[in-house]
Chains A and B, each alone.
Chain A
Amino acid sequence: MAEPVIRVEGLKWKYEGSRDWVLRGVDLEIHQGEFVGIVGPNDSGKTTLAMSLNGLVPNNYPGVMEGRVVVDGMDTREHSVAEIAESVGFVFPDPESQFLSMTVEEEVVFALENRGFPREEIEERMWWALELTNIPEDYLEKPPYELSGGEKQRVAIASVLAMRPKIIVLDEPTSMLDPIGKTEVIEVLTEMKRRYNATVIVIEHRLEDIAPLADKMVLVYRGTIPKVAPPREFFQDVDFLLEHDVFPPDVMVLVNELRRRGLYDGPVPMTVDEAEGVVREILGRR
């Protein structure tokens, strides 16, 4: 297998002033083009792990770090966040907290201007990013603050996508959104997977939406990674996830319960569609 695009080795991190390690020895390898879902309870270190992938940790936060993180050949301790930003795009949970300008157009081209791309290329990349995130042209002069939650986060994603980074890290991109907004963002993620061969890393509580998209699921729990597996394998042991404060989608828990009651012995379904099939199979046997 080719060299991984992200390699985390024995990563430990402690914020200045806190007693405990937030990350207590994390190892992780991610390959180019993989779509990775990271799950786990709050305060388990997910956000810290995400921020260590683009160098915000350790560069922008005071603290103690052990081990190393190499992203696209760059050791995060030896490169600035702005340098790493050429390879890694980062989307924050609260769309409003990451807006840097007062019109959508400025927002989407901001990073491209920073990189000093020629005018024509900026224009071309801007249209490409807007199209992928389904943002209409007449939004260009609108303040991003006045859009709906889902639109806001799509603009935030577009302004990261415009850089065409090799790697995109999204930290709970839907957690502040209403259900329509969540669906819009998940649709954009689906488009990204389909049309843009980047490495996508998403931290997400809504497993229902992320399970069918991911190539690989990562469980973060109390500063460690107790499980990494493709989704079908990852979700088979529902009880293991529940013990780690992760609540898999309803239909998985249901089928797990049916297995416990001896009504079924096949694999756990990933989607409502598959679950419908399972229930029909069970009831069809009578």
Chain B
Amino acid sequence: MPTKMRRSLLGYLPVDSPIFSLHPMTRLLFLLIVSAYPMIVRLPELNVAGSIFMLALFKVSKVDLRVIKNYKMAFVNLFFVIAIAYTFFGGYNPDYRVLIKLGPVKVCWENLRWATVVYIQLIFAILIMIFFLSTMRERDIVVGLRALRVPFVLAYMAGLALRSIGLSIIDFNTIREAEKARALDLQALPFSEKVKKFGMYIVPLVALAIRRSDEVSNALDSRGFRFTGLRSGRRTDYILSKYRMTRLDYAVLAGMGVFLAGIVLISVYTDWLALENSLLYRI
């Protein structure tokens, strides 16, 4: 490997990624604040702009864009799922413009348009989530939560939960390999059988998780960890103390906050963000 990499929750990130110059708390708040945008704003143009902004952030932070490519098919499928859902359950109104009639099903422009709006909103939200997971490490989450004064026990549990998901994914792959070794041809199975197989994986996954949680609780005790409720008492925040909020952090936080406040004010007091302003609604 030419550059040194750090493992994030969803892949690897080069050590020199600028994202590491931000305090973990700032990065944690980024998720909370920025995910609010697509929840407030429906206007597709703004959400497309937001998605492009996220892609730019991926680039700047040196996240390997292959992460997104892995989800390519999921993105495409998502659109169809939403479009089909709104076509069937979106309702019908005599003023709707019918594009095609497939037997009793009327594919209407109004429903597809609404599906598109929701889809673009979701894409923006998903990109934010992927960005968060591919730039955060468990350590960053614990430090971020501690900086926000979340009790250590809760912050630690959050980290532990994320890690156990990761370990379960590794287990899952080994189990599938072991199943192949027992003459299982997944490709040859009908869909209903495949679904049944997934049910079977639960047994070893839970077995492994139970054994692991026993081990962790023994290890915690052996390192003098006392569960004394949510107050961590005399516990030192050594790792947290290694991070300092810088001017950059305050600037980023202020920027995000001002932007969010602006959007909230605009959407409450004006109709600039109304869907009728979208190009989609002028066709």
Do A100 and B219 touch (CB < 8 A)?
Answer: yes
Interfacial residues of chain A within 154-185, with CB under 8 A of chain B in the complex: 159-160, 163
Q: Is the CB of A115 within 8 A of B224?
A: yes
Are B221 and A122 in contact, with the CB atoms below 8 A? no
Q: Is A86 an interface residue (CB 8 A)?
A: yes
Given contacts A85-B223, A86-B224, contact A118 B218 (CB under 8 A): no
If A110-B225, A114-B235 are given as contacts, then 17 extra A-B residue pairs at C-beta distance below 8 Å, sorted by A number, are A60-B218, A82-B224, A89-B222, A97-B212, A100-B216, A100-B225, A112-B236, A113-B239, A114-B223, A114-B225, A116-B233, A116-B235, A119-B236, A141-B6, A142-B7, A159-B223, A160-B223
A97-B215, A97-B219 are contacts. A143–B238 as well, Cβ < 8 Å?
no
Chain A: minimal CB distance from B155 (Å) = 12
Encode contact with A along B150-175: 1 for CB under 8 Å, 0 otherwise: 00000000010001000000000000
Q: Which chain B residues border A138 with CB–CB below 8 Å?
A: 4
| Per-residue contact bits, chain B 205-242, to A (CB 8 Å; 1 contact, 0 not) | 00000001001111111111110000001111111010
Residues of A within 8 A of B216 (CB): 97, 100
Q: Which of A81, A86, A105 has the most CB of B within 10 A?
A: A81
A-B Cβ contacts below 8 A, count: 103
B62 in contact (CB, < 8 A): no
Q: Select from chain A the residue with minimum beta-carbon distance to B228.
A: A82
Interface size on A, as a range, is 35 or more
Q: Does B27 contact A (CB under 8 A)?
A: no
A146 contacts the other chain (Cβ, under 8 Å)? yes
A243 CB to closest chain B CB (Å) equals 34
A106 at the interface (CB under 8 A from B): yes
- The answer to the question of A278 belonging to the interface, with a C-beta cut-off of 8 Å to chain B, is no
Selected from A56, A101, A146, the residue in CB contact (under 8 A) with B138 is A101
A103 contacts B221, C-beta separation under 8 Å: no
B197 within 8 A of A: no
User: Distance in Å from the Cβ of A32 to the closest Cβ of chain B?
Assistant: 21
Is A217 among interface residues, defined by CB-CB distance under 8 A? no
B217: chain A residues at CB < 8 Å are 60
User: Do residues B239 and A85 form an inter-chain contact, with CB atoms below 8 A?
Assistant: no
**CB within 8 A of B7: which of A81, A89, A98, A146?**
A146
Q: Which residue of A lies closest to B137 (CB)?
A: A102
What is the CA–CA distance of A6 and B58 in the complex, to the nearest angstrom? 57
B163-199 CB contact bits vs A (8 Å, 1 = yes)?
1000000000000000000000000000000000000
Bound together, the chains give a CA A100 to CA B159 distance in angstroms of 10
Residues of the B chain whose Cβ atoms lie less than 8 Å from the Cβ of A106: 139, 142, 239
